[in-house]
Amino acid sequence: MGGEDEGEYEHTPTARTLEARAVSAWFGDHKVLDRVSLEMPAGRVTALIGPSGCGKSTFLRILNRMHELVPSASLAGEVLLDGDDVYASGRRLTEVRARIGMVFQKPNPFPAMSIYDNVTSGLKLTGVRKSRDEQDEIVEYSLTRAGLWTEVRDRLKQPGGALSGGQQQRLCIARSLAVAPEVLLMDEPCSALDPTSTNRIEETIKELADEVTIVIVTHNMQQAARISDRCAFFLARAGSPGRIVEYGDTEAMFNAPQDQATYDYVNGRFG
């Protein structure tokens, strides 16, 4: 790296395949997921669908090691990021969370912190020092990718909490992107938003997919059909733990599902 290149923010597209192998999960002795295996291919959008309580959020939280923060929680199985075991002993949690970002249902920016500082807040945790110029470039890049730049470029010093709900959610997406994640997990990211904001986020997701592997939980079947390449249908039958009933190309899942339960669910018969 020559000194003259410094300040050129090189964002390397690094989408990676994430793979869950036989993942089971418990809260205390309540088993909520049973041997879930799923490949979430690099650079694709994978949608997780299924009725309330079938373990979609739990599965998502296992993928970036947030599940273990719940005191009663335990798990079995493996999660591999580009072949690397996410749960390997000695692997740093901060590294896992930087490589596998998460966006939640309710936008959660730091409300009193400026828009600019919200975007850079994750960089400090990764321990990599950036010059002011580099940070400026990362902020512009991340906000642009999140579809928010033109709306906020003139007010980066204003607090994140002053934005609308949809803008706050795009700010949270920008905050995740700033650390150049390989995977972005999204748990019902549009369910608290109006249709216009939802459209914006959906466009953003489609544009991001070439550089970040996306895994999104949604209850909105139209949304799953619009934005995902692959779809996994989770179901917890009569008191038993959640499992994947069917997985495949979104097109096939919606138009020619193999399982009657998938057919009923995607056609709005239950859940």
Interface residues toward ligand ATP, by CB under 6 A: 27, 32, 52-58, 70
Q: Which is nearer to Mg ion, 81 or 185 (CB)?
A: 185
Q: How far is the CB of 250 from Mg ion (least distance, A)?
A: 20
Residue 12 touches which of ligand ATP, Mg ion, none (Cβ within 5-8 Å per kind) = none
Q: Which is nearer to ligand ATP, 70 or 128 (CB)?
A: 70
Q: How far is the CB of 219 from Mg ion (least distance, A)?
A: 9
Q: How far is the CB of 158 from Mg ion (least distance, A)?
A: 32
DSSP category for residue 159:
B
Q: Using an 8 Å Cβ cutoff, are 215 and 186 in contact? A: yes
The H or E element that residue 238 is part of is none
Residue 167 touches which of Mg ion, ligand ATP, none (Cβ within 5-8 Å per kind) = none
Distance CA 124, CA 54 (A): 35
Tell me the chain's radius of gyration from C-alpha atoms. Answer: 19
Residue 70 touches which of ligand ATP, Mg ion, none (Cβ within 5-8 Å per kind) = ligand ATP
Residue 100 touches which of Mg ion, ligand ATP, none (Cβ within 5-8 Å per kind) = none
Closest-by-Cβ residue to Mg ion is: 57
Q: How far is the CB of 11 from Mg ion (least distance, A)?
A: 31
Distance CA 19, CA 213 (A): 11
Q: Using an 8 Å Cβ cutoff, are 177 and 123 in contact? A: no
Q: Which is nearer to ligand ATP, 57 or 250 (CB)?
A: 57
Residue 165 touches which of Mg ion, ligand ATP, none (Cβ within 5-8 Å per kind) = none
Encoded tokens for 231: 């779809």
Q: How far is the CB of 123 from ligand ATP (least distance, A)?
A: 30
Q: How far is the CB of 185 from Mg ion (least distance, A)?
A: 12
Residue 228's φ and ψ, nearest 5 degrees, are -100, 150
Q: Using an 8 Å Cβ cutoff, are 184 and 213 in contact? A: yes
Question: Helix axis angle, 165-177 relative to 132-145, nearest 10°?
Answer: 130
Q: Which is nearer to ligand ATP, 208 or 236 (CB)?
A: 236
Q: Which is nearer to ligand ATP, 178 or 261 (CB)?
A: 261
Residue 55 touches which of Mg ion, ligand ATP, none (Cβ within 5-8 Å per kind) = ligand ATP
Give which of 158, 56, 86 is closest to 116, Cα–Cα: 158
Q: Where along the sequence are the contacts to Mg ion (CB under 5 A)?
A: 57
Q: Using an 8 Å Cβ cutoff, are 209 and 184 in contact? A: no
Give which of 265, 232, 264 is closest to 249, Cα–Cα: 232
